[in-house]
Structure 1
């Protein structure tokens, strides 16, 4: 825990935005790969990847956005980020294919916005 406290909130937010970008690339890439190569897309589209990704996003979001409230006193970035995480979690309950990728990308984008707002508030 001491290592986490030694890392600035701004740096964690940058990591979280980067993770959001990787998630976005993964979601879009998976959709493209599903269209191009069914076997490769099937590997990347496994539910465990989404579940682990969401767990990691929740961990980083809790640390960075929670610490942001303590450091700069604004809760709005955390509320935006929490809403994005909620949309992402809700997307896991949808059937694969269909609207699931749309809601995942929407949730990731909202979460990234929360981290960006947190980063701006810390400046």
Structure 2
């Protein structure tokens, strides 16, 4: 089968294609890893965490506070407040596992609080 010129050409083209894919993979990997490592300091910068927490507090206070005024359910506000406090405590520990655990726990509590807020709205018939 490989004796025919047509099959040898196909095999050579396949090999060239695989070589090209290998080269693209190698270059893309280096570029992607380089970009991620270059941007890593940006994502780990304390200002990112501080601004993110400030936005979470602002948006959480507005949304959960408005929900409390609409449906008078205190539990979503308390849950969200605890979540925001846990998120804030993540700023006080060194970068690493502790910070990640506190952040994920806090964010989860805030998300649950917003879901509770939505549920309380639907139970009171508020389509605000």
Instruction: Please indicate, yes or no, whether the TM-score normalized by the shorter chain is above 0.5.
Output: yes
Instruction: Find the structure with the greater CA-based Rg.
Output: 2
Residues 58-73 of structure 1 mapped to structure 2, 5 A cutoff:
58-73=57-72
The reply to whether residue 44 of structure 1 matches residue 43 of structure 2 is yes
Give me the whole-angstrom Cα distance separating, in 2, the residues matched to 1:98 and 1:109. Answer: 16
Q: CA offset at residue 98 of structure 1? A: 3.2
- Which string of whole-angstrom CA distances, capped at 9 and with x for unpartnered residues, describes residues 58-116 of structure 1? 00111010111110010000000000000000011000123101110110001000001
* Partner in structure 2 of residue 24 of structure 1: none
Do structure 1's residue 102 and structure 2's residue 98 form an aligned pair?
no
Which one has more relative contact order, counting CA pairs under 8 Å at least 6 apart? 1
RMSD over aligned Cα atoms: 1.9
Extract unaligned runs of 5+ from structure 1: 1-35
TM-score by length of 2: 0.66
Match of 1:99, SS? helix
Gapped regions of structure 2 (runs ≥ 5): 1-34, 123-128
The number of aligned residues is 90
Tell me, in whole angstroms, the C-alpha distance in 2 between the residues paired with 1:97 and 1:37. Answer: 18
TM normalised by structure 1 equals 0.68
Report Cα offsets for 1:15-42 as digits up to 9, x if no partner: xxxxxxxxxxxxxxxxxxxxx9433221
Alignment of 1:102-121 (within 5 A): 102-121=101-120
- How many Å separate the matches in 1 of 2:107 and 2:57? 11
- Which whole-Å CA distance do the structure 2 matches of 1:117 and 1:44 have between them? 30
User: What is the Cα deviation at residue 43 of structure 1?
Assistant: 1.3
Q: Following superposition of structure 1 onto structure 2, how do residues 1-123 of structure 1 map, counting pairs within 5 Å? A: 37-123=36-122
